[in-house]
Amino acid sequence: MSVFIRFKKRAGELSQPRAIFTVLFAVALVALLIFGVSARREKEVVSESFHLGTYINLRAYGRDKKFLETELNGAKSEMSRLEGLFSANIADSDISRAGASSGEWVEISAETASLAARSLEIANMTGGTFDPTIGAIVKLWGIGTSSARVPSREETAQALAAAGWEKVSLCEEDGKYFIKLAHGQMLDMGAIAKGRVADIVRAKLADDGVTCALLNLGGNVVVIGSAPNGGPWKIGIQHPDEPRGEYIGFFAVTDSSVVTSGAYERYFEADGVRYCHIFDPSTGLPAVSDISSVTIADADSTFADALCTALYVMGCAKSLEFMRARPDIAAVVVSDKKVYITPAAKKTFTLTDKNFTLEEIPQ
């Protein structure tokens, strides 16, 4: 005999099917919450290396650690391959082979041809204050190497004679690329190559699906997407006279690049004179500039890199004049205790060091 016990339903009590439904619903909700939280918990993958004469730090964020590790390893190999094409310090690079050619046509990779073409454009645009053909001058001084020295005037004059971006020819034939330099001319892409490598690596990572990353190629910073907290990346601008890591302000950017040139990091001292690693192509001597540092924030890191160097050579008055005609380029020029910014920089740059005064460059 089966005993049928009938429970009296108390107030607030659920019928059996409803109770089962509620339990299932609660379980699903908890599962969803756990999944949601772990899905949002981004992992950071870091890669450090030394390429193009500088320390490189890549950071990528996302859920799939394995994927990010593979991507950063790929980026490292890509940087090493590109360094093999663009470096003036690697004997069989495209850049070195072109310089060793005594005025003959030399076949180069598509990437080097593209970089050379872009560097000639920027040389033209900046009145030759950025000039990729001062390779012999850079080698002669050796600033940043153990053989740095002050050469004689004759040596400088001789190294400078071959320079001049107008003397470079480029051509393409049946999908192959060639470059011809003037006799004795040598290229140096030191002021643009890090920007170009950063652009190539950024494009590859973004194409592969990396949505959040910060690539720091010795101060050439490129960011993909927004910062891990969802806001813009904050990229500090180094204080020119304080130890590394002391900032005068910062750029807040997404999917962009921030590049600084200044004489405070790489220089050489002889007889109490400080010689910086940026040269004035009109004299063949280390640039003497009243700019402490110049920073460009632009989606095109190649352009930002070369332009910073050019503005540094121009000096404060000429660079402000140059930027006056280009209000859409975000630039920050630090000279003495003044920080000059373009209208475009006004939107993304914040000055934090109140010892400096901010001035907008008028249009």
Task: State which H helix or E strand residue 76 sits in.
Answer: helix 65-86
Interface residue with Mg ion, options 191, 201, 210, 334 (CB under 5 A) = 191
Q: Say if residues 289 and 315 touch (Cβ distance below 8 Å).
A: yes
Cβ neighbours of residue 223 closer than 8 Å, sequence gap 6 or more: 213, 214, 215, 233, 235, 253, 254, 255, 256, 257
User: Which residues, numbered 180-209, are part of the site for ligand ADP (CB under 6 A)?
Assistant: 188, 190-191
| Least distance to ligand ADP, CB of residue 247, Å | 17
Angle at 363 between CA 340 and CA 254, to 5 degrees: 60
131 interface partner picked from ligand ADP, Mg ion, none, CB below 5 to 8 A per type: ligand ADP
Site for ligand ADP in 227-266 (CB under 6 A): 261, 266
With CB under 6 A as the contact rule, which of the stretches 1-9, 21-29, 130-138, 319-327 interacts with ligand ADP? 130-138
What's at 267, amino acid-wise? Y
The identity of residue 333, as a single letter, is V
305 part of the interface to ligand ADP, by CB under 6 A: yes
Minimum CB distance to ligand ADP, residue 241 (Å): 17
- For 115, left (φ over 0), alpha (ψ -120 to 50), or beta? alpha
- Return the one option of ligand ADP, Mg ion, none that residue 313 interacts with (CB less than 5 to 8 A, by type): ligand ADP
Identify the DSSP state of 41: -
Rg, the chain, Cα only: 27
At 117, give phi and psi (nearest 5°). -60, -45
Q: How far is the CB of 306 from ligand ADP (least distance, A)?
A: 7
**Given the rule CB under 6 A, which of 65-73, 129-137, 156-164, 339-347 is the region that contacts ligand ADP?**
129-137
Work out the end-to-end distance of the chain between its first and last CA atoms, rounded to an integer number of angstroms: 98
Binding mask 261-300 vs ligand ADP (x if CB under 6 A, - otherwise)? x----x----------xxx-x-------------------
- Residue type at 239? H
Examine residue 302 and tell whether it contacts Mg ion (CB under 5 A): no
3-state helix, strand, coil in the chain (%, to 5): 35, 25, 35
Identify which range of 50-58, 132-140, 269-277, 306-314 contacts Mg ion by CB under 5 A: 306-314
Q: Pick from Mg ion, ligand ADP, none: which does 284 bind, CB < 5 to 8 A by kind? A: none
47 versus 129: smaller Cβ distance to Mg ion: 129
Pairing, β 213-217 against β 220-224:
antiparallel
d(CA 266, CA 276): 6
**Min. distance of Cβ 47 from ligand ADP in angstroms?**
20
Residue 190, contacted partner among Mg ion, ligand ADP, none, CB below 5-8 A by kind: ligand ADP
Residue number of the CB closest to ligand ADP reads 190
Q: CB nearer to ligand ADP: give 180 or 266.
A: 266
Interatomic CA distance for residues 83 and 77, integer angstroms? 10
Q: Would you state the structure tokens that stand for residue 356, as one six-digit string? A: 């400096």
Out of 133, 216, 309, 342, point to the residue binding Mg ion (CB under 5 A). 309
Residues contacting Mg ion: total by CB under 5 A: 4
For residue 156, what are its two tokens?
Answer: 């400088």
Shortest reach from residue 357's CB to ligand ADP, in Å: 25
Our CB check for ligand ADP shows the closer of 61 and 322 to be 322
DSSP notation for 283-296: TTEE---S-SEEEE
User: Which token pair is 23?
Assistant: 């339990």
Three-point CA angle 282, 258, 130, nearest 5°: 10
Does residue 83 interact with ligand ADP by CB under 6 A? no
- Applying the rule CB under 6 A, the residues between 205 and 224 that interact with ligand ADP are 219
Give contact residues for ligand ADP (rule: CB under 6 A).
130-132, 134, 138, 188, 190-191, 219, 261, 266, 277-279, 281, 305, 309, 313
Give contact residues for Mg ion (rule: CB under 5 A).
191, 305, 308-309
